[in-house]
Amino acid sequence: MADATETCSYKFTSGSGATYMNYCVTVNGNFANFQSPAGVEMLDQHHAWEGYGVCDLGTNVEYWDYGYASSGNWKAPVKVKETPTEVEIERSTSDGLYLLTQTITELPGASPEARIVMVLKNTSGTEKTAILSRFAGFLPDKGASGSNLNENYDGSEDSAWGYIPANATYTTPSTPYGLMLNSIGAPAPASTFAFSLGFAYGSQYGPDPCLPTTQDTQGTHLFPGMVINNYGAGAYTYGLILNKNQTSTVTLRYLPF
């Protein structure tokens, strides 16, 4: 088992100025930071809280790793592949019921993005219904340098995001930038897809994988929806139906705006 960590292990950098993108991935497959454009950090102000969660709806067992802490029931990660633009990491649950494979790819250009492909495999031997989530502790620009970390957050059917508005109604040292976690298409194959939803909420902590829109990992009740001038975060959640040994593939991306 590997402990939760915010330590950088796999670093990626591309572009310059407006097209600059720099992010780092931990050994466990969490983002340790995300900077784009140059000089604008989107996740790591005084910490970087980001990651993934799985819930087995048959047993209500939760598996999660959000950087600041984890559920403690994952095996150690295995690096499958590393190139100058990509890293692939596998991680099994300690009970042997699920295998999560994450491939994170740098896509530079005029609109740079970090592409995240998550493949969840049912290795239990029986049919499973699961919830797969990605948590983003958005904190755009200079939040930690001011007197508060309050920013704006929201979500939609296919995205969740955090941002500083162009004409903020509150005092902030930050410039008007944001970061979006965007789902690209539906899970594949289509037979595995039950539901999906992007949402924001007023907590810094990741969602409870089995109650993603109801409470965070600290047990605090959540009220999903727009957050203005307050602490917040976002997540994207998929409901998946997996036959014995079946996989479901979901694709997301982080993109600055």
> What does 94-112 look like in DSSP terms, one character per residue?
TTSSEEEEEEEEEE-SSS-
- CA dist., res. 94 & res. 217, Å (int): 19
pLDDT at 147 exceeding the cut of 60: no
- CB within 8 A of 110, min separation 6: which ones? 19
Give pLDDT, residue 216. Answer: 98
Domain 10-256 falls under CATH 3.40.309.10: no
Tokens 């740079």 belong to residue: 112
The 10 Å Cβ neighbour count of residue 62 is: 17
> What mean pLDDT comes out for the span 225-236?
94
Q: Where are the domains of the chain?
A: 10-256
Using one digit for the tens of pLDDT, what is the confidence trace for 1-39? 678 999 999 999 999 999 999 999 999 999 999 999 999
Cα separation, 221 vs 215, in Å, equals 4
Q: How many angstroms separate the CA atoms of 237 and 252, rounded?
A: 11
The pLDDT of residue 143 is above 80:
no
Q: Are 72 and 65 in contact (CB under 8 A)?
A: no
Q: What is the pTM of this model?
A: 0.95
Confidence class for position 144, pLDDT limits 50, 70, 90: low
Of 143, 147, 210, which Cα lies nearest the Cα of 179?
143
pLDDT in tens, 78-112: 999 999 999 999 999 999 999 999 999 999 999 99
Distance CA 205, CA 77 (A): 22
pLDDT reading at 123 higher than 90: yes
Q: How much of the chain, in percent, has pLDDT values that exceed 70?
A: 97
